[in-house]
Amino acid sequence: MSIILIDYGSGNLHSAKKALERAAALSNRADIIQVSADPDAIRRADRVVLPGVGAFADCKRGLTSTPGMLEALEEAVLKRGMPFLGICVGMQLLATRGLEHVTTPGFDWIKGDVALIQPQDASLKVPHMGWNTLSPRLDHPLLKDIPTGPNGLHAYFVHSFQFKPQHESEVLTETDYGGSIVAMVGRDNIVGTQFHPEKSQKLGLALISNFLAWRP
């Protein structure tokens, strides 16, 4: 199977690629992981991963600077149902709007806004940085065999902005940081993680393996 990791000038591609390769090897799969900025490569792929670090507006600009990129993604993911995984800002881009510094339109695949984290407890630091547990709202194939809840495995988060989906049904897991923060969103063939699976050791590799095996 061919998996495309979208290269649009965002850092961290190397780690994401290596984590995908390791997850594939651990599940005895012979997947080909390709880093590419070519819209045609997306159309030909079987699965697509959108990584992302940095600011919402920068990431959006980076993506749209490649002509045909958004159109290729919409065609593959929305029309043909290609499994999609967005990571961190790659997850936030699924929203209707990003409110980081300036208001920037997102893909609008999962209705909602991305807004600053404002913990109720003022002593809590922003960014929300470090390891936190996941509380599932729904059973999802990407969480298969992953221990969750307060005594479950941890995921690595580093973000100052949070996804606030309009439809509660599209929240897959949440985490607690002076209140609930959405940790995963999704519907149909689309999933996004606020945390970094490529940096989340056991939980991360298990989740990526589940993504590779996922048949939505």
Partner 1 sequence: MLKYRVIPCLDVKDGRVVKGVNFVDLRDAGDPVESAMAYDKAGADELCFLDITASHEKRGTILDVVQRTAEACFMPLTVGGGIKDIQDISKLLLAGADKVSIMTAAVNNRNFVKEAAEKFGSQCIVVAIDAKQTSPGHWEIFTHGGRTPTGLDAIAYAREVVELGAGEILLTSMDRDGTKSGFDLALTRKISDSIKVPLIASGGVGNLDHLVEGIREGHATAVLAASIFHFGEYTIRQAKEHMIEAGLPMRMD
Instruction: Check binding of 68 to partner 1 (CB under 8 A).
Output: no
How many residues line the site for partner 1 (CB under 8 A)?
Answer: 42
Judged by DSSP in three states, 133 sits in: strand
- Residue 47 C-beta-side C-alpha neighbours within 13 Å: 24
Q: Is 59 a catalytic residue?
A: no
- The DSSP code sequence of 156-202 is EEEESEEEEES-GGGEEEEEESSSEEEEEEEETTEEEESS-GGGSHH
Neighbours of 117 (CB within 10 A): 17
Catalytic residue among 14, 75, 88, 168: 88
Catalytic residue among 128, 140, 159, 196: 196
Instruction: Check binding of 159 to partner 1 (CB under 8 A).
Output: yes
Q: Is 196 a catalytic residue?
A: yes
Give the one residue of 36, 54, 70, 137 binding partner 1; rule: CB under 8 A. Answer: 54
Return the CA Rg of the chain: 16
- Specify the residue, 72 or 181, whose C-beta has the smaller distance to partner 1: 181
Q: Which residues are catalytic?
A: 88, 196, 198
Q: Applying CB under 8 A, which residues contact partner 1? A: 11-15, 18-19, 22, 53-55, 58, 89, 124-133, 150, 153-154, 156-160, 176-177, 196, 198-205
